[in-house]
Structure 1
Amino acid sequence: MDSRGGQRRNPYELTDESPVYVISVAAQLSGLHPQTLRQYDRLGLVSPDRTPGRGRRYSARDIELLRTVQQLSQDEGINLAGIKRIIELENQVAALQQRVAELQGALEGAASAMRQREAAVHASYRRDLVPYQDVQQTSALVVWRPTRSE
């Protein structure tokens, strides 16, 4: 597992979560000043991984998040506290969507197991012991009138 909770098959495989960019490269890629990246880190807007020497290492996903923060701040006029809340809510929505998918998978598995058990029970019926009677339905109406006893 990596530091963000994701699974890695190969330690040398690069993903969007791989922390590979030093702060100067991340600043260039995001179009921001390195000091701005440090400030965003202090505020918790973007949390890059750290090297053993405490240097920041940014992933491609971090770079994309930095661009989003810049766009929300400059183009939409949202303050940094609002942007932080938006990021938190987006992360929460993503976690909930993942949980819903997990629960749907579990539900489908349980429904499949139930259908299999139901089919096994039906297959075990001894039909030679169950009498079959064809019931005819009619539309006859029966009227009951009490008789007077005198």
Structure 2
Amino acid sequence: MLGQPEGLDETSPIFSIAAAAELAGLHAQTLRQYDRLGLVEPARTAGNTRRYSMRDVGRLRQVQLLSSEGVSLEGIRRILDMSDENRELRARVRELETALADAVMQQQGRRIFAAGSAGIQTLRAGARPSKPGSVVLWRGPTR
């Protein structure tokens, strides 16, 4: 990301409890309660001080929104757990799709084509189309 210090991303634990509470529009005691309940689990420093990331702050806002809509804290915990599992499963599917595409591209005898706004182009084995959004077709060897 542009302008972002090296090694920092949305999961970097950089906010104190006071800063995270202010960003989320909550009281620091509420953040401590959510931590005890496992709704948001901030990182800890060597001195056991809580440190929140931007992802944690977003999660706090999500908890606040669900709570204001009348969802119980147990219901919120379940929703967040399912959301986390869904995110992990989607990442795994992307990994498997990439691995499958790579395996198919490495097979001998495959003729590979990409069709996009620039027309149809033949690709050599192992190559990917230069334009995102191209549809890639391959035909196995005839028997």
Q: So what's the TM-score if we normalise by structure 2?
A: 0.71
Percent identity between the two aligned chains: 51
Question: What letter is aligned with 1:18?
Answer: S
Root-mean-square deviation over aligned CA pairs: 1.7
Aligned to 2:78: 85
Question: What letter is aligned with 1:88?
Answer: D
Q: Pick from 97, 101, 110 the counterpart of residue 108 of structure 1.
A: 101
Instruction: Give deviations 1:42-95, integer Å, cap 9, x for gaps.
Output: 111001000000000001111111001000001x21001110100110111111
Aligned to 1:69: 63
Aligned to 1:4: none
* Alpha-carbon distance in structure 1 between the residues aligned to 2:58 and 2:8: 16
Q: Which runs of 5+ in 1 are unaligned?
A: 1-10, 123-150
Instruction: Give deviations 1:15-67, integer Å, cap 9, x for gaps.
Output: 11111110011111111111100000011100100000000000111111100
* Alpha-carbon distance in structure 1 between the residues aligned to 2:93 and 2:110: 26
Q: Pick from 35, 55, 67 the counterpart of residue 29 of structure 2.
A: 35
Q: Does 1:46 align with 2:40?
A: yes
Q: Which runs of 5+ in 2 are unaligned?
A: 112-140
The size of the alignment, in residue pairs, is 108
**Bigger proportion of residues as strand:** 2
- Residue 108 of structure 1: how far off its partner (Å): 0.9
